[in-house]
Structure formats: C-alpha cells, structure tokens
C-alpha cells in the first residue's frame, strides 16, 4: 500500500471511528431527543451543526469547480446559498421556534388549521428531501471509489452503515453532535488546501485576500487580471465578468436559491433544537459564520484551480505541454474518465481552447477542481487524504439531516399526527427508528440505481422548497388573516407552475424526449432557466393565495391569537415537549 492510500485510510476510518464514538455517547431516549435533541443545543453548537447539515457533497466537491468554469456567473451559488440565512434569521426561525413543535408540516398544519395543508407540506418535503439525498448517496459512493479505489457499490454500503448507526441510534441528538464533528473535519479539509494554494500563487496565505492579490512570480500582475487574460486568449469568456444567462436569469436564480434555502425543511428543523427564540436568532448568525468560512474560500479555490490548470497545460503562450510529459495527477484522472484528451492536430501537445474544433481537453469534469486541486498544486499526501475525509463528512452529514426530516415527517406528521394519533411516545420513537432505517435503505437503493432524472434533482429540490414551502411559511407568519384555503391553493399553484416549467423544458420526470418545449434558451420565459424558476413559482404562490383569501373567510380569531403568540417570545416553553 502506498503512502497516500495509507493516509487516506487513516483519515477516513479515523473520522468514522469518531462518529461511532459520538453516536454511542449521544443516544436518544425520548421523542423530544430524537426529533429536536431535547431542545438543549447551544447556538454555537447548532451553528456548526447547521453548517455541516447545509454544506453537502455539492458545496464541498462541486461548487468551486462550477465557479472555476463559470467565473462571475458562479456568484449565484455563493449569494444564493448564503443569503437565505438572512431570511431564516429574521422572517422564519424565531417564530417557528417559539411555536415549539418538531416539524415543518406540523407548523403549517397548526397555523392553517388544516390536515390537508399538513399533507401537502409532507408531500413537498418528501419530494424535496428524497431528490436531494440521491446526490449525497452518489457523493459517498464517488468519494470512496476515487480515493480508496473500492467499488462504488461497496463505498455506498459502508456509507449507509455509518449513517444507519448514528442516525437511527441517536436521532437528532446523535446527528447534531456528529454534525459538529463533521463540520470541523470538512472545514479543515477545505481550507487547508486553499491556504496552501493561495500562499503558493500569491504569497498571501488567506485565500479571501489572495484572490485579490498580485501573483508571487514577481510580475506584479493581479491574479484575477492574469486569469482574465489567459482565458480570453483561449477564446473563453472573461472570468470576472462572464454572466450566466442574462442579468434577469442571474437575479431569478439567486432569488430562487435564497428562498429555497430558507424553505428547506431539514435546515429549518435544526432551529427547533435550541432552547429559546433568542438562541434561534443567534444560531442563524453562527451558522452563517461557519458557512461563510467555506463560501468565501470557494471562489478563491475555483479561480486558483482554473489558473493552475491553464498554467499546467500552457505554461506560457504558445508553449503547450507535451502529452507524454503530463503530470501524474493528469494520468490518474484520465483513468477515472473525468479527464479526457484527444490529440486532434496530432502534434503530441495539449491544446485547450474555447473553440470546440481545436480543443483537445475534450472532457474536464468540474468536480476535479476540488478533488484534484491538492495534487495539481503538489501538496503533501496528508492534505489529499484530508480532502477525502472532508468530502465524506459533507455528504454524510447532509444525508443524515435529510433522513431525519423524511422520517420525522412520516412517523410524526403522517402516522402520529394524522393516521394513528393515539400512538404512545415509546411506539412513536420505535416507529421513528424503523422509518429512518427504511429511508436509509431506500436512499441507498436510489444511490445504486440513480433514476434518469438524478442530474436535475437538486435544482428541483430548491424549486419545490422555494415555490411551495417558503411562501406558505411567510404568509403564515406575516399575515394574520391568511386562511387554510388560500395557503393550500397557493402551495399547489406554486408547485404546479414550477414543476410544469421544469418538466416542459427538461422532460417529464426528466425523461429525455418528453420535453414539449425543448431545452433551448430561446424558449425560456424571459430567458429564465428552469433552475431559476422557483422564484417565479413563489410569486405565483403568493398571488394565488391572496386572491383565494379575498374570496373566502379569513382565518378565525383563535388562529390570529396563535399568530400573535408566536410573534412574541413572551412565555416561551423551554423545549418542544408537549407530546
């Protein structure tokens, strides 16, 4: 076994051992501990747990790569996936925490005094969470197969086993403490390569400052200016100004991601674990600090990785790399099929160009930008091993949070809340564990047999949360008179419009050939891409809800009193435990 592999085994199985130890220490004994960690998590701890819960395999592995190739256009992910926390901190979390229940469907059901509203929310939640979890399971399988060279399937089974152990045993309590550990693992694994690379390229070890610094090669040229020059020379769009679609598309995309973030149940649920309204507000701030640590490093990692890649292939203008002299990482990633070279002009050198007829780097998978980054920059082996453990921590922590959201909505909302209300706490706890186990098997199955639509699913999850759940919660809190019929009609309309738009451009259930308008930019409504359509769905939701409200009876007095009650922290209960 070579040194790198040994280090990787130590890093991956060392962190797994840590998660097991935490799981045994933090077993859940009651439904309150299982769903909301007994309401005793401090804001600082909760902030870290939200950070790990939120930052998925996509944030860790894919985002910097997306930014590397999109340049300025990639900003929608940076602003979109952080700006939602402002909405959470001010518009949602404090009041939902005050209401003091365990789940998002439960809040919607109480506020809109309607089982139908609760069921609609459960459906939205399950679709959004299941689509999201497929990506995490794939991330686990991919991380194992790349770094440890085990089969994708075997990697997936190991990942399922680890999540099973701490999520089923510990519920929200076990998940929370494990996520705190996973946050530390993933942020260390992400920032250390960033610091190394920033220091190598610019002499400034802080990536956020390095990105705005001059290159350390003595030329005195700013890194970003050099990058702009290099990419435009090869015919690509200028890095710092390349838009994604038009301005309106970027606006709608950012807004969709922001309100989608604020409407994703597995994130909102985490705010039910803290002891008070005050702590809920503070949690959002701490969470964003921990998230911002990664999100402000990511653009530096992206730009620097792109620069390193270009520089490796073409160290100076016209001096292209001989294919036979390509570095070891190039060969390694060629084996995985994520990097492909084809010598079109037969000169034995590598040409990288925006012109498809001349470009010989026929495939450069964007995920490589983070995964291969340490090797491209010649970083020590232990750093590469750390990236493997970090990627797994990011995927596992998000998967666990999603599993909890799914199992609580089935065992607590559907079974206990609607079908069999006389269930005892002990039975409910057992049911919660059984449902969680089944969910893990189901998620694992989907990870092994990813449905054809897997690629488009994360966008769908955000679209659903943005167009259905977020507006319902906002109206529930900010309008005292919003009634059951308005909320239900709004949710269905928002959801319907968004799904219709996504399906008509991407195919029904993403099946190729079933899209009836074609996935061409020319067909898009005002140039808004399907991924960005959640914001439009949300507007439809609000509009339909208020029109229906005008035509029907407003919410009764006891509901208005309920709203007044959760708008003020006065008389709050220490933790959600009225069950």
Residue list 40-69, contact with other proteins (CB under 8 A): 67
Q: Which stretch binds other proteins (CB under 8 A): 70-78, 265-273, 380-388, 544-552?
A: 70-78
Give the interface segment with other proteins, choosing from 211-219, 341-349, 388-396, 518-526 (CB under 8 A): 211-219
Helices (H) and strands (E) in the chain — how many of each?
A: 26, 2
User: Is the CB of 436 or the CB of 563 nearer to other proteins?
Assistant: 563
Count the site residues for other proteins by CB under 8 A: 46
In Å, how far are 49, 163, 178 from 52, measured between CA atoms? 5, 14, 9
Can you tell me which of 9, 20, 152, 251 binds other proteins, judged by CB under 8 A? 251
Determine which residue in the list 30, 75, 320, 336 makes contact with other proteins, applying CB under 8 A: 75
Q: Where are the alpha helices (DSSP H) in 354-424?
A: 368-371, 373-376, 381-408
Contact segment (CB under 8 A) with other proteins among 10-18, 108-116, 204-212, 361-369 equals 204-212
Q: Helix (H, G, I), strand (E, B), or coil: what is residue 364?
A: strand
Phi, psi of 222 (to 5 degrees): -70, 140
C-beta closer to other proteins: residue 149 or 225: 225
Contact 439, 127 (CB under 8 A): no
Is residue 338 near other proteins by the rule CB under 8 A?
no
- Segment lying near other proteins (by CB under 8 A), choices 85-93, 167-175, 315-323, 481-489: 85-93
**Footprint of other proteins on residues 258-287 (CB under 8 A)?**
278, 281-282, 284-285
What does the alpha-carbon distance between residue 181 and residue 183 come to, in Å, rounded to a whole number? 5
Each residue 144-183 as x (binds other proteins by CB under 8 A) or -, in order, gives ----------------------------------------
How many Å apart are CA 545 and CA 498, to the nearest integer?
A: 16
User: What minimum distance in Å lies between the beta carbon of 76 and other proteins?
Assistant: 8
Cα–Cα distance for residue pair 99/571, rounded to 1 Å = 11
Is there binding between residue 96 and other proteins (CB under 8 A)? no
* Residue 409 DSSP symbol: I
Q: 339-340 and 363-364: which strand pairing?
A: antiparallel
CB-CB contact of 279 with 46 (8 Å) = yes
Residue closest to 206 by CA, chosen among 217, 194, 216, 218: 194
422-426 CB contacts, 8 Å cutoff, 24+ apart: 425/30, 425/31, 425/579
Among 10, 21, 289, 574, binds other proteins (CB under 8 A): 289
Residue 296 within binding range of other proteins, rule CB under 8 A:
yes
User: What is the rounded CA–CA span in Å between residue 435 and residue 429?
Assistant: 10
Per-residue contact string for residues 100-139; x = within reach of other proteins by CB under 8 A = ----------------------------------------
Q: Cβ of residue 481: shortest distance to other proteins, in angstroms?
A: 15
Q: Which residues contact 527 (CB under 8 A, 6 or more apart)?
A: 245, 246, 248, 249, 521
**Least gap, CB of 511 to other proteins (angstroms):** 34
Least CB distance to other proteins at residue 91 (A):
7
- Please choose, out of 75-83, 187-195, 520-528, 536-544, the segment that lies near other proteins by the rule CB under 8 A: 75-83
Of 29, 212, 235, 518, which one interacts with other proteins (CB under 8 A)?
212
Are the C-beta atoms of residues 463 and 252 closer than 8 Å to each other?
A: no
Contact 186, 19 (CB under 8 A): no
d(CA 89, CA 85): 6
Interface with other proteins, residue 477, by CB under 8 A: no
**Residues 54, 34: Cα–Cα separation, whole Å:** 19
Q: Quick one: 27 or 567, whose CB is closer to other proteins?
A: 567
Print the binding letters for residues 549-578 with other proteins: x by CB under 8 A, - otherwise: ---------------x--xxxx--------
89 binds other proteins per the rule CB under 8 A: yes
The CA-atom distances, in angstroms, between 493 and each of 216, 249, 337, 354, 552 are 55, 22, 42, 42, 17
| Cβ-based neighbours of 487, under 8 Å, separated by 6 or more | 108, 112, 114, 117, 472, 475, 476, 545
Q: Which is nearer to other proteins, 201 or 548 (CB)?
A: 201
Q: Token pair for residue 280?
A: 């809920």
Among 109, 141, 263, 299, binds other proteins (CB under 8 A): 299
Rounded to a whole number of angstroms, the minimum distance from the CB of residue 509 to other proteins is 32
Judged by CB under 8 A, the chain residues 487 through 506 that form the site for other proteins are none
Say whether residue 222 binds other proteins (CB under 8 A).
yes
The one among 264, 288, 436, 497 contacting other proteins by CB under 8 A: 288
Number of other residues whose CB lies within 10 A of the CB of residue 27: 14
Does 85 engage in binding with other proteins (CB under 8 A)?
yes
Token pair 């929370």 is found at 176
SS3 (DSSP) at 339? strand
Q: Which residues bind other proteins (CB under 8 A)?
A: 67, 72, 74-75, 78-79, 82-83, 85-86, 89-91, 94, 208, 211-214, 222-225, 240-241, 247, 250-251, 254-255, 278, 281-282, 284-285, 288-289, 292, 295-296, 299, 564, 567-570
């Amino acid at each position: 076994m070579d040194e790198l592999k040994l280090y990787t085994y130590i890093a991956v199985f060392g962190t797994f051992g840590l998660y097991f130890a935490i799981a045994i220490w933090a077993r859940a004994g009651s439904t309150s501990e299982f769903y909301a960690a007994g309401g005793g998590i401090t804001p600082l701890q909760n902030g870290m747990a939200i950070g790990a819960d939120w930052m998925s395999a996509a944030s860790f592995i894919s985002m910097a790569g997306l930014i590397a190739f999109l340049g300025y256009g990639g900003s929608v992910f940076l602003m979109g996936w952080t700006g939602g926390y402002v909405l959470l901190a001010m518009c949602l979390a404090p009041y939902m925490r005050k209401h003091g229940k365990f789940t998002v469907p439960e809040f919607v059901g109480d506020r809109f005094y309607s089982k139908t509203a609760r069921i609609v929310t459960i459906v939205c939640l399950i679709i959004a969470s299941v689509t999201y979890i497929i990506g995490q399971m794939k991330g686990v399988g991919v991380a194992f197969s790349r770094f440890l060279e085990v089969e994708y399937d075997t990697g997936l089974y190991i990942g399922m086993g680890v999540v099973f152990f701490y999520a089923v045993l510990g519920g929200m309590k076990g998940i929370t403490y494990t996520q705190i550990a996973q946050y530390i693992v993933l942020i260390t694994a992400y920032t250390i390569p960033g610091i190394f690379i920033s220091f190598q390229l610019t002499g400034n070890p802080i990536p956020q400052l390095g990105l705005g610094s001059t290159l350390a090669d003595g030329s005195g040229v700013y890194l970003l200016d050099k990058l702009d020059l290099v990419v435009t020379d090869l015919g690509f769009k200028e890095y710092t100004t390349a838009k994604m679609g038009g301005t309106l598309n970027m606006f709608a995309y950012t807004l969709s991601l922001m309100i989608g973030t604020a409407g994703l149940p597995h994130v909102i649920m985490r705010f039910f674990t803290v002891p008070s309204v005050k702590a809920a507000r503070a949690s959002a701030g701490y969470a964003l600090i921990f998230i911002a640590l990664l999100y402000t490093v990511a653009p530096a990692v992206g730009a620097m990785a792109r620069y390193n890649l270009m520089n490796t292939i073409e160290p100076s203008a016209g001096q292209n790399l001989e294919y036979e002299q390509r570095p070891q990482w190039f060969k390694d990633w060629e084996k995985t099929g994520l990097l492909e070279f084809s010598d079109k002009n037969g000169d034995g050198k590598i040409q990288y160009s925006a012109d498809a007829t001349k470009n010989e780097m026929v495939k450069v998978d964007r995920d490589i930008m983070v995964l291969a980054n340490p090797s491209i920059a010649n970083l020590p082996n232990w750093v590469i091993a750390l990236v493997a453990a970090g990627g797994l921590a990011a995927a596992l922590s998000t998967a666990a949070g999603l599993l909890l959201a799914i199992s609580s909505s089935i065992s607590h909302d559907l079974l206990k809340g609607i079908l069999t209300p006389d269930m005892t706490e002990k039975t409910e706890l057992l049911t919660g564990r059984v449902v969680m186990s089944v969910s893990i098997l189901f998620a694992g199955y989907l990870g092994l047999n990813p449905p054809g639509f897997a690629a488009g699913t994360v966008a769908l999850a955000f679209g659903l949360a943005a167009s259905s759940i977020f507006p319902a919660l906002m109206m529930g809190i900010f309008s005292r008179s919003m009634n059951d019929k308005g909320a239900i009609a709004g949710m269905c309309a928002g959801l319907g419009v968004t799904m219709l738009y996504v399906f008509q451009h991407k195919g029904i259930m993403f099946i190729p050939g079933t899209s009836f308008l074609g996935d061409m930019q020319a067909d898009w409504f005002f140039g808004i891409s399907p991924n960005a359509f959640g914001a439009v769905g949300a507007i439809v939701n609000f509009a339909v809800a208020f029109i229906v409200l005008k035509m029907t009876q407003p919410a009764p007095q006891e509901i208005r009193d309920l709203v007044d009650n959760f708008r003020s922290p006065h008389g709050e209960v220490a933790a959600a435990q009225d069950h």
